[in-house]
Amino acid sequence: MAESLSSRDASAPASAPNGADTSLERGLAILDVIAAPGEHTPAAIAAAVGLPPSTTYRYLRRLAARGFVAVAHGRYEPGPSLIGLAGGNFATTFLASVAPAVLAGIVDEVGETAVMIVRVGTHAVCVSRAEPDKAIRYTFAVNQLLPLHAGAGQRVLLAWAPPSIVERVVASGLAPYTDATLDAAQLHASLHATRQAGWTVSRGEYDTGSVSVAVPVFFGGEAVCSLNVAGPESRCGSREWVARVRTLLSDAARDLSESLEAWSPPIPAPAESSIPTDPEIT
């Protein structure tokens, strides 16, 4: 690193230009930058939040010590603690508990890798996986951050994400992972087609030579995760294979949605207001 972690910038402003005046606000501002897509170098993070590089390093070091950020090759990304904050809701907790059995059943049927993916901000995260006993397998590491624009399981989640998320992902530049990675125009067309069809297929967008099929799982009107099966083109390239896997995943997604609805905790009735009402006001 060019700057020392312990150095102090004597010319540092008393407060950050973006309004992050307290330690908490500064830390949250840094996390907000890191959670967005892009390659986050310390210099870029410092410029984005309006802090001196030396101050930014100190925050990054503390956040890394608590697992909120991780660093690889000089670039910062969300850490396991930050990712875990997205798992506190009922749907994510329930899905994580049933995912191993659901994915194992899918693997038994198709003999290829099956994964469950959730969206965390402008990224996707693999929360569970099951793999076949085969020499050639396609899979993601659990808790691995994934791009939302490349790969069937990720793109399904982007298709049902808020428009602001789609805009942020596109604005990030859509890193080309392979020659088949979609550009902005292709991505918009794909998202529309995915919403119309209710599923999608990827052919080498994220891993060259792979084919993957994915469907969303809905709860409360939102796509809370995707189910994805992936394998090599040599085994999984036929239309028949894609159609078979799509049907299997659609059935599994429907069962998961029904289970979520059945086991979701009841929504408490709103408490009665203690403020008296005026009968003359209508």
CATH number of the domain that residue 77 is part of: 1.10.10.10
Query: Do 41 and 134 have their domain in common?
Result: no
Query: Do 65 and 109 have their domain in common?
Result: no
Per-residue pLDDT tens over the stretch 216-270 = 999 888 899 999 999 999 999 999 999 999 999 999 999 999 988 887 655 444 4
Domain that holds residue 32: 23-84
Contacts of 99 (CB under 8 A, 6+ apart): 116, 127, 128
Query: Do 96 and 159 have their domain in common?
Result: yes
The pTM for the full model equals 0.66
Query: Do 75 and 207 have their domain in common?
Result: no
Residue 16 inside a domain? The answer is no
Residue 90: phi and psi, rounded to 5, are: -60, -45
The first and second tokens of residue 33, run together, are 């930058």
The first and second tokens of residue 204, run together, are 């080498």
Query: How much is the CA Rg of the chain, to the nearest whole Å?
Result: 22
Pick from 33, 64, 84: which residue ends a domain? 84
Query: Do 136 and 213 have their domain in common?
Result: yes
Residue 211: phi and psi, rounded to 5, are: -130, 135
Query: Do 121 and 251 have their domain in common?
Result: yes
Query: Do 115 and 66 have their domain in common?
Result: no
Region of 173 (left: φ > 0; alpha: ψ -120 to 50; beta: rest) is: left
Per-residue pLDDT tens over the stretch 101-144 = 999 999 999 999 999 999 888 889 888 889 888 766 666 777 77
Q: Contact 215/250 with Cβ under 8 angstroms?
A: yes
Query: Do 148 and 38 have their domain in common?
Result: no
Q: Residues for the chain: how many in total?
A: 282
Instruction: Domain count for the chain, please give it.
Output: 2
CA-to-CA distance for 70 and 51, rounded, in angstroms? 20
Residue 15 inside a domain? The answer is no
CA-to-CA distance for 143 and 276, rounded, in angstroms? 50
